Amino acid sequence: MNKDIVACFPQWGSYSCAFRYLFENGFGVKYMTPPPLTKKTIEIGSKHSPDYVCVPFKYCLGCHIEALEKGANCLMQIFGACRLNYYGELEEKILRDLGYDFKFFNMAEINFRSPRSILEHFKIVNPNMSLVKIIKSLPTTINIIKTIDKMEDYIRKNAGFEKDKNALEDTFNEFKEKLNKTQNTKQYKKLKKEYTKKLKSIKINKPHHPLRVGLVGDYYTVQEPFSNYFIEKELENMGIEVYREMNLTNTIINSKYKNSRKTGKRYVKFDIGATANYTVAEALKYAKNGLDGIIQVKSFGCTPELNAQTVLQSISRDYKIPILHFSFDSQTSETGIKTRLEAFYDMMQAKHK
Amino acid sequence: MIVGIPRALLYYKNEKLWTKFFDELGIDYIISPETNKEIIENGSKYAIDETCLPIKIFLGHVDYLKDKCDYIFIPRIETAQDTETCLNFRAQYDLIKNAFRKYDIKLLFYNEVGHKKHKEYKAFKKLCKYLKIKKSLGKYAYQMAKQTQLYYELFRSEYQENILKNSKKIKVLVLAHAYNIGDKYVGEPILNMLKKLNTEPIIAEYFDAKRCVKESLKVSKTLPWSYNRHLLGALELYKNMVDGVILITTYPCGPDSMCDEMIVRHYKDIPIVTLTLDAQDATAGIETRLESFIDILNYKRKNSYE
């Protein structure tokens, strides 16, 4: 393993465990778990980024700067269908202007049609990497991601009703910590078995018809708990079952959203970009399944989600389902969010009875 | 049948193409009037607060047309010059459909997708099929319209280059999207201000798109938006021939928010000023900033002569 190269990917949900496995076993470089997001991260990020760029960019930039100061020297950024496509280039420019010295692996630059281009870009991370190792480590990485998503899904649906508070969350955190030390598939499989059992054995006292809420929104905000001000936890504390389908497993690995345009055909005729079609399809599904409410979280000025918001309003009117829209910026007050959530909860409960 | 064309967004890009196409086919059309305060206010009612100003204006124009015609013409252009357009152009059809649900309006559209060579003609062919027009007639109309549009663009770009070469006034390159600079309410006041200050505004949008997009590859590899590439390429091409650059954006434009930052960081030796426009019509602030900017340009030119 090459210990001089320290790779880092911005903080994104709990996936850093999976990325660590891929980089240490596949690419053969050291991986630094990104420093947890704090108020300071977003402060640094917004200081150096343009004024009204979407918030995920500010989080990524802040996270990268913090990582660079802690000793990372190989940063990376993914690509997507919206502004995300340009994140990498602008981030690199800003960081270079600040005077940092690092390698940058920008996935938007890869031409995925040519294997040579892929190989060349992989070599930015580690010049002596072996493709065989990367391919060998991929199945386990994917399995780790799937396990994380499955466990989080279970926690979201049950955390509101557990007997000892935070038991599920603590067990999951323990699992993540141990996952960060696994070196091969065998260890991971043993760990998975152990902790799945542990999670299932925690006692849960669920009423027959609990309140159910669906969470939709843009790719980063809905998945990164810090950027949506721990809205999931807030809902769980109120005793609500939270549904959320947007995660890596469903979007990239299983491509569950292949039929999203067909599902939302009545409201949306064309591909309206990025995650907007998913949002519409998901919201429609929740509405049809009789959930008590839908919450849309998005970053300020997110174009695809803004267009989806108009569509969501039509769905809300047709199915008589309340929808709460949250727009997060770098300076959103937590009390404001809490008040709105409480009012929404009261309304749902009145409707539920 | 009367077709209503909203004077917003893509209209400023394809003005001659659309009007000539309907002229050739003998279809009556009306174009909504120039943007004014009332249209913006009406548009804001339908829009979500955060949406960008051009979309609000667009909604206002559709609102004006909704009971004056049988069809409203809202094309959907996904790709241009081998790159994408802003996501709002992809969603405008569905946006209008959902925002104007109560009114039961009929929309006429053509859908330009993919990167193939004759994608525009294919899109128009489908439009003709929908309108039940003979294939040959449709093709003729499209070709005439396209030629008019191309000649118009060529004329515009040559006229601009002439000014660029011959004018002795202070030359300012204005980087703004077609729907911002062409708009009576948004862009025109700024152009008038610049003319009043005895400068020559050069509009980047009017230069040849193909050449500009090609040139922009030198600066940025991954910039995904075609219309921003057009502006960036124009700046790269003519940066040595102009005295200063003005970036005009509307709040909160997605592509511009990132592209402008890139421009400011990349071109460090050219004087650049960024103007962010809003629905409010207080021009005093902008006027002051422009005046001081032009003063700097004047001063810079004098010093370089001595």
> Which residues 285-304 in chain A show a CB within 8 A of chain B?
300-301, 303-304
Is residue A112 scored above 90 in pLDDT?
no
> Are B87 and A303 an interchain contact pair (Cβ–Cβ within 8 Å)?
yes
pLDDT reported for residue B306: 61
CB of A329 less than 8 A from some CB of B: no
> Are A270 and B88 an interchain contact pair (Cβ–Cβ within 8 Å)?
no
Q: How confident is the model at residue B168 (pLDDT cuts 50, 70, 90)?
A: confident
**Domain made up of B167-305: CATH architecture:** 3-Layer(aba) Sandwich (3.40)
CB of A230 less than 8 A from some CB of B: no
> Which residues on A lie below 8 Å from B224 (Cβ)?
85-86
Is residue B282 scored above 80 in pLDDT?
no
A100 and A225 together in one domain: no
For chains A and B, count residue pairs whose Cβ atoms are closer than 8 Å.
103
Alpha carbon dihedral A313, A317, A320, A324, in 10-degree steps, equals 20
Are residues B250 and B52 in contact, defined by beta-carbon separation less than 8 angstroms?
Answer: yes
pLDDT tens, position by position, B93-138: 888 988 898 888 888 888 888 888 888 899 999 999 998 989 999 9
CA-to-CA distance for A245 and A243, rounded, in angstroms? 7
Alpha carbon dihedral A241, A242, A244, A249, in 10-degree steps, equals -70
Over residues A71-100, the mean pLDDT reads 88
> How many domains in chain A?
3
A223 and A343 together in one domain: yes
Q: How confident is the model at residue B159 (pLDDT cuts 50, 70, 90)?
A: very high
- Contacts of B46-50 with C-beta under 8 Å, sequence gap 24+, read B46/B99, B46/B100, B47/B99, B48/A306, B48/A309, B48/A310, B50/A300, B50/A301, B50/A306, B50/A327, B50/B252
A220 and A347 together in one domain: yes
Q: Which residue among A85, A104, A129 closes a domain?
A: A129
pLDDT reported for residue B305: 64
> Are A50 and B257 an interchain contact pair (Cβ–Cβ within 8 Å)?
yes
The closest alpha carbon to B227, from B183, B262, B179, belongs to B179
Q: What percent of chain B has pLDDT over 70?
A: 99
Specify burial of residue A261 (Cβ count, 10 A radius: 0-12, 13-18, 19+).
middle
Radius of gyration over every alpha carbon of chain B, rounded to an integer in angstroms: 20
Over residues A19-32, the mean pLDDT reads 87
Are residues A258 and A160 in contact, defined by beta-carbon separation less than 8 angstroms?
Answer: no
How much is the ipTM here? 0.90
A122 and A38 together in one domain: yes
CA-to-CA distance for A39 and B118, rounded, in angstroms? 51
A74 and A116 together in one domain: yes
Over residues A275-294, the mean pLDDT reads 89
pLDDT tens, position by position, A313-340: 999 999 999 999 998 887 778 888 899 9
Q: Say whether A299 sits in a helix, a strand or coil.
A: strand
**Three-state secondary structure string covering chain B:** CEEEECCCCCHHHHHHHHHHHHHHHCCEEEECCCCCHHHHHHHHHHCCCCCCHHHHHHHHHHHHHCCCCCEEECCEECEECCEECCHHHHHHHHHHHHHCCCCCCEEECCEECCCCCCHHHHHHHHHHHHCCCCHHHHHHHHHHHHHHHHHHHHHHHHHHHHHHHHCCCEEEEEECCHHHHCCCCCCHHHHHHHHHCCEEEEEHHHCCHHHHHHHHCCCCCCCCEHHHHHHHHHHHHHCCCCCEEEEEEECCCHHHHHHHHHHHHHCCCCCEEEEEECCCCCCHHHHHHHHHHHHHHHHHHHHHHC
pLDDT reported for residue A301: 81
A312 → chain B, closest CA residue: B98
**Domain made up of B2-148: CATH architecture:** 3-Layer(aba) Sandwich (3.40)
CATH code of residue A29 = 3.40.50
CA-to-CA distance for A168 and A199, rounded, in angstroms? 6
CB of A83 less than 8 A from some CB of B: yes
Over residues A27-36, the mean pLDDT reads 87
> Are B258 and A85 an interchain contact pair (Cβ–Cβ within 8 Å)?
no
Is residue B259 scored above 80 in pLDDT?
yes
Domain with A163, as residue range(s), is: 136-206
- Beta strand A240-243 with A293-299 is unpaired
Is residue B50 scored above 90 in pLDDT?
no
Q: How confident is the model at residue B241 (pLDDT cuts 50, 70, 90)?
A: confident
- Beta strand B83-84 with B79-80 is antiparallel
- Beta strand B244-250 with B272-277 is parallel
A97 and A232 together in one domain: no
Distance from CA of B220 to the nearest CA of A (A): 8
pLDDT reported for residue A323: 92
> Are B222 and A88 an interchain contact pair (Cβ–Cβ within 8 Å)?
yes
Tokens (6 digits) for B69:
């015609």
**Rounded to two decimals, what is the model's pTM?**
0.92
> Are A270 and B94 an interchain contact pair (Cβ–Cβ within 8 Å)?
yes
Element (H, E) at A328: strand A323-328
Q: What percent of chain A has pLDDT over 90?
A: 15
Over residues A215-239, the mean pLDDT reads 88
A91 and A180 together in one domain: no
- Domain spans of chain B, in order of start: 2-148, 167-305
Per-chain mean pLDDT for chain A: 87
- Give the distance, in angstroms, between the CA of residue A157 and the centroid of all CA atoms in the same chain: 17
Q: What percent of chain A has pLDDT over 70?
A: 100
